[in-house]
A and B are shown apart, each in its own frame.
Chain A
Amino acid sequence: MGGTMSYKGYWSIWGILLLLTMTMIAIEALTLPAAVAILLLAAAMMTKATLITGWFMHLRSETRFIMWCVVLATLLTAAFLVFLLVPDGMDANRLAEYP
């Protein structure tokens, strides 16, 4: 039964996830500069994703083959799309060129 934890361990992860969610709502409610808020929200979001995949889905105790398949495939695709598309989209009002 590799990777399973005690009841207490799972509820602790749940508590951390809730705490991160509340922190994210607080960040949204504060009037922080947009870049800072986005950076903090993205960091909290990735932490939550890591906790869910690592502890609830037990990815950290899976074989290396599965771990690398999941991590590399999703992160490389996301990074490729972000760096390919977002700089172009940030050209202000780009979609106005296509009525």
Chain B
Amino acid sequence: MGSQELTGTSGGHLEAPAAQESVWSGGGSPYAIGSKKLGMWLFIVSDAITFSALLIAYSYVRVASEDWPTPFHFYPSVVKATVMTLFLLTSSVTMVMAVRAAKLGARKSAAKWIGATMLGGLAFIILHAIEWAELIHEGVRLFQNPWGSPLFGASFFTLTGLHMTHVAIGVVYLGVIAALFGSGRLDSEDVEISGLYWHFVDLVWVFIFTVFYLI
């Protein structure tokens, strides 16, 4: 049943006021927020709950295991993870710069800032992949490792792997946004929404870095 059948008549057909039709066709903002942005926030909430569950599951198996391995020593593991943190934090700043430039209508500048953000993401992925390769070389597998509880590998690779997948998807997503926004086919809200996703990726790393490398 369309909105036109709901209100008023005109020449045998029902007619709706323009504002109401706009709401029914998706043009309205019932929660005082654009539908695309609302969608991204709801995605972020659901993804945050997923990562929360995984981090808490990791905490559970860690405190419940007598011989939980702690292979991340200050050098090189913590130092390397800190450099990875630096790349992600810096990429978050370049992303807010991109959003700011987009809001001001500076399309080329916004695309450049997004490019810098992508570089930060790529640097993070490369460093993380090197760390994975080193751990695998030392004998860490999903269900075995040379040091203790076999669940260490499963929890580490699952959480960091899921996060790295988010970063990789984010880099591609930002590339698409930069190209389309730079050519004038998207508006500044699309850049802002991609920024929300990127900051979320940074936010998740704050928790992973603390729980895996520092505690």
Selected from A14, A45, A77, the residue in CB contact (under 8 A) with B89 is A14
DSSP majority for the A interface? helix
Does B210 make an interface contact (CB < 8 A)? yes
State whether A27 touches B214 (Cβ < 8 A). Answer: yes
Does A48 make an interface contact (CB < 8 A)? yes
How many chain A residues have a CB neighbour from B under 8 Å?
50
Selected from A28, A56, A63, the residue in CB contact (under 8 A) with B31 is A63
State whether B86 touches A18 (Cβ < 8 A). Answer: yes
Does B53 make an interface contact (CB < 8 A)? yes
Q: For residue A36, which residues in chain B have a CB less than 8 angstroms away from its CB? A: none
Among B61, B64, B95: residue with most chain A CB under 10 A: B64
Does B172 make an interface contact (CB < 8 A)? no
Does B165 make an interface contact (CB < 8 A)? no
State whether A52 touches B206 (Cβ < 8 A). Answer: yes
State whether A82 touches B56 (Cβ < 8 A). Answer: yes
Interface bits A50-71 vs B (CB < 8 Å: 1, else 0): 0011001100001101100110
Q: A interface vs B, CB < 8 Å? A: 1, 4, 7, 10-11, 13-14, 17-18, 21, 24-25, 27-29, 37-38, 41-42, 44-45, 48-49, 52-53, 56-57, 62-63, 65-66, 69-70, 73-74, 77-78, 81-82, 85-86, 88-96
- Given A63-B31, A93-B64, A95-B149, 16 extra CB contacts under 8 A: A21-B86, A24-B214, A25-B82, A42-B210, A49-B206, A56-B199, A66-B33, A69-B41, A73-B49, A74-B49, A77-B53, A85-B56, A86-B56, A88-B60, A89-B63, A95-B64
